[in-house]
Amino acid sequence: MLQSTPKPQRQSVNTSIDSQLIN
């Protein structure tokens, strides 16, 4: 799954998850 996802998109998802965790 991670390999299939492009790096830019993956970073976006990671940022969203990080934001949720921080919130």
pLDDT score, position 9: 60
> What span, in angstroms and rounded, lies between the C-alpha atoms of 17 and 1?
16
Q: Which residue do the tokens 């830019």 mark?
A: 8
> What span, in angstroms and rounded, lies between the C-alpha atoms of 12 and 6?
10
Helix or strand (DSSP H, E) at 9: helix 7-22
pTM (two decimals): 0.30
> What span, in angstroms and rounded, lies between the C-alpha atoms of 22 and 17?
9
Confidence of residue 18 (pLDDT cuts 50, 70, 90): confident
